[in-house]
Structure formats: C-alpha cells, structure tokens
C-alpha cells in the first residue's frame, strides 16, 4: 500500500503501528531525546517535517525481478519481538568483554545466546552518550522491519527499556568482509575469487533493491566492508542501516544533509557539499569492490603516502590496461580469470567516477557483476595467461 504523509510524526505512527511496534513509540513518545524537533540538516534519517513523503512498504516477492528483489526460498519474515534489558544482559552474560564482536560509531556488538530457544544472535548495544543514538536506533528498526531482501541482515528484535537501546540481529558466523580481507592473522584461508565475486554480486543486488524497489529510494549512506557480514557459505548481508536516508523525490536529483559516513568510502560530492543521492552508495560500493580485488584497505596509513588512499592509488592505474593485473590481491596467488579481473576493475572504475551522473545505477552494476560470475566461474592461474 502507498500512503502520503506530511511529517515525521505521522509517518512514524503509521509505520510503527503497522509493524506492531507502537508500544515502543508510545512508551517513549514523551522523551525529548526522541521527539525533539531538529533541522533537516541534522536528521540522519531523512524524515523531516518539511518533506512530503510517499512510503511504499513492499515485500521483495511483490517486486518485479528487474528490480533485483527476491526472497530466500521458504523463509518467513516475522515482525521483530521486544526484549527486556534483563533478557539481553543474560543472553550476553552481562555483556562480557570477550563476547564483543566489534565496535562501531554508535556502540558495541556482542555475541549472545537467547535463553529458552538457545538461538545464537548478535546484540548491538547503542551507546546513549553518543549523539543521534536514539534516531539511529529507530531508523534501523524501521528499515529492517519494513524492507526485506536476502542480502539484508535480519532483525530479530530490539530493546527500548528505559534509556537502553539495543538491537538483536541474526548471527553471521564468518564475521565481516573487512575481517576476512584484512585480518591475515587468523587461520582461515583468504577468500578465493569466486567467493569475492559472490559477495560483490549479493551486495550489488541489495543496494539495487534499496534504490529501485523502495519508494522513495533508500540511501544506505554507510556502505563499507565492515558493514558487510558473511553467513553460512559466505552469503553476504548488508548491515548497519542506522544512517540510512530517504532519497530525492519529485524529480529532484539529490537531498541536502549533514555529511555522515567513513573516510575513504564517502563520495567526493557528498563530502564536499552535503548533497546526497543514490550515486553516493554507488561510489562506496566501488571502494568495497576495489578492496576485494586488490586486498587493500580504503585508507591504510601503514603504506607510503601515495598509496594511503585506495582510490587515489588506483585511479592512475585504471588508465593503463597493462598494469591492471598488478592491482590484483597477492593473496589470490594468481588464481583468477584475467578477463574477469579486468572487467571487475572496469566496473569499480566507473563506480568511482568523480561525476555522480556518470556513475552507473546499482541495477546495472548488479547485472554486470552477475555476468562476470556466470562467465568466469573457473579461475585460471594468471601467470599462464600473461
């Protein structure tokens, strides 16, 4: 169904009620920290009282295939459940330090086990002392409750007990893409070519779904390798939707907002002007794809100054076809198809173009990556092809 809303409050009330989250909103509606009016430039969600919104809540199975939405066969999406702080404290053994899976800009992520069901989960504890924590919490709950895609992390539930704000996600056993690419101290083998392309394809499909199937489009605004989680069979899922923002509508090309994101992944036009469009996600995806192809970090201060920034290092090499093979991650040990590598680097280069209008759509990127996957599934040793 499609309905129009004049302001943030009416949108919140309708969506929260639909998702049976009204108890959360009603319980905390009197809290100044949640309901205080902020300017659009300081609102990370994109829901502002000055903006007329038309929100379409569509299941992936209702979206045409060309919009790249799909569902996991046999899966059923349930409304997220509410947890008490005591329940999640018990699940994480009182937030035991050795259960920390990672730490981000808004809090820590713990591994936990729910009492009763014994289900292993990931519990994100949002630090109430960090700015925008309440809005990040609400936006992530709404996004992950309304939108569903096989390459989006599943929200199991949430806790809004007093001042506590926690999110409960499915547990992803292989950690983040960042860890698997760059943490070479582990005993796990490096990701092979086919796995990297599988991850690239899954993330591209998810972003295409956010941009094309959601009305208005959703801009993730925080696409990076540490926010791509790997499940069984290295199935990739995009996570951390707390900074997501509604994209432009009514023929507009962008929305203006405060700059949020991570250095090295942030699109240059957004970083310099605050003008945000779906093409900012395309740029960030290009950085992640380049990470997977080269094995280098987006920003690596341990390297020489001219190689610190991945995009700055790669840009001149894109113009020299004979040097493209030299960009490949040494951990691949030459086991990749030359044609597939050059095609993937070409996709990354177009995603990273300075002019956002010249960048491809994520739907086109997903199609191109799928072509590489289907036509280059048997890696050859590079040395035999040079």
- Locate tokens 């996957």: which residue? 373
Question: Could you give phi then psi for residue 86, rounded to 5 degrees?
Answer: -65, -40
Digit-coded pLDDT (tens) for 39-96:
333 343 444 333 333 334 444 444 333 333 333 333 456 688 999 999 999 999 999 9
Residue 333 has pLDDT above 60, yes or no: yes
- Specify the domain boundaries for CATH 3.30.200.20 within the chain: 2-170
CA distances from 344 to 197, 222, 237, 330, 352 (A): 9, 22, 20, 16, 12
- Alpha-carbon dihedral 320, 325, 327, 329, rounded to 10 degrees: 170
pLDDT at 264 over 70: yes
CA distance 154 to 165: 17
Please check the confidence at residue 360 and state whether its pLDDT lies above 90: yes
Position 76 scores a pLDDT of 52
Q: 101-149: per-residue pLDDT in tens?
A: 988 778 899 999 999 899 999 999 998 766 677 888 999 999 999 999 9
Quote the pLDDT of residue 77.
Answer: 62
Distances in whole angstroms, Cα of residue 347 to Cα of each of 20, 80, 117, 350: 42, 37, 44, 5
pLDDT per residue as tens digits for the range 166-184: 999 999 999 999 999 998 7
Q: How high is the pLDDT of residue 114?
A: 96
Report the range of poorest mean pLDDT among 53-57, 198-202, 230-234. Answer: 53-57
CATH superfamily, domain 177-384, is Transferase(Phosphotransferase) domain 1 (1.10.510.10)
All CATH 1.10.510.10 domain ranges in the chain, comma separated: 177-384
Quick check: 327 pLDDT over 80? yes
**For residue 134, what pLDDT is reported?**
85
pTM of the model: 0.80
Architecture of domain 2-170: 2-Layer Sandwich (3.30)
Q: Do residues 228 and 292 touch, judged by C-beta distance below 8 A?
A: no
Does the pLDDT at position 379 exceed 90?
no
More confident residue, 178 or 375: 178
What is the distance between the alpha carbons of residues 298 and 288, in angstroms, rounded to a whole number?
Answer: 8
Distance of CA 16 to the CA centre of its chain: 22
Is 124 within any annotated ligand binding site? yes
pLDDT digits (tens, 9 = 90+) for 32-49: 333 333 333 334 344 433
- What per-residue confidence (pLDDT) applies to 130? 63
Residue 330: the pLDDT is: 96
Other C-beta atoms closer than 10 Å to the C-beta of 354 total: 11
Per-residue DSSP letter, 210: H
- Contact between residue 164 and residue 85 where contact means Cβ atoms under 8 Å apart: yes
Average model confidence (pLDDT) for the chain?
Answer: 82
For the chain, give the number of residues.
386
**Nearest alpha carbon to residue 178 among 228, 224, 225:** 225
């Amino acid at each position: 169904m499609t309905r129009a809303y004049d302001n943030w409050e009416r949108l919140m009330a309708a969506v929260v009620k639909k998702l049976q989250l009204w108890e959360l909103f009603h319980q905390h509606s009197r809290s100044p920290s949640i309901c205080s009016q902020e300017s659009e430039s300081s609102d990370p969600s994109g829901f502002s009282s000055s903006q007329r919104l038309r929100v379409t809540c569509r299941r992936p199975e209702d979206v045409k295939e060309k919009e790249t939405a799909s569902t996991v066969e046999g899966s059923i999406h349930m409304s997220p459940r509410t947890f008490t702080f005591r329940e999640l404290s018990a699940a994480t053994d009182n937030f035991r330090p050795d259960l920390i899976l990672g730490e981000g800009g808004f809090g820590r992520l713990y591994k936990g086990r729910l009492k009763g069901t014994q289900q292993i989960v990931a519990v994100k504890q949002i630090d109430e002392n960090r700015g925008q924590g309440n809005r990040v919490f609400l936006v992530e709950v709404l996004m992950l409750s309304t939108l569903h895609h096989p390459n989006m992390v599943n929200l199991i539930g949430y806790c809004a007990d007093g001042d506590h704000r926690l999110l409960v996600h499915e547990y992803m056993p292989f950690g983040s893409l960042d860890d698997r690419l760059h943490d070479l101290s582990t005993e796990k083998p490096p990701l092979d070519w086919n796995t990297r392309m599988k991850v690239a394809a899954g993330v591209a499909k998810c972003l295409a779904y956010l941009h094309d199937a959601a009305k208005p489009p959703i801009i993730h605004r925080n696409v990076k390798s540490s926010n791509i989680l790997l499940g069984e069979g290295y199935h990739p899922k995009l996570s951390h939707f707390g900074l997501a923002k509604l994209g432009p509508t009514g023929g507009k090309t962008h929305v203006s907002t405060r700059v949020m994101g991570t250095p090295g992944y942030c699109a240059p036009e957004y970083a310099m002007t605050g003008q945000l469009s779906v093409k900012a996600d395309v740029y960030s995806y290009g950085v992640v794809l380049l990470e997977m192809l080269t094995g280098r970090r987006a920003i690596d201060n341990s390297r020489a100054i001219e190689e610190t920034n991945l995009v700055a290092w790669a840009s001149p090499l894109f113009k020299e076809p004979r040097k493209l093979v030299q960009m490949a991650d040494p951990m691949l040990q030459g086991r990749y198809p030359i044609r597939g590598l050059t095609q993937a680097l070409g996709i990354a280069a177009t995603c990273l173009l300075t002019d956002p209008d010249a960048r491809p759509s994520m739907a086109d990127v997903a199609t191109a990556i799928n072509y590489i996957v289907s036509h280059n599934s048997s890696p050859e040793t590079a040395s035999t092809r040079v």
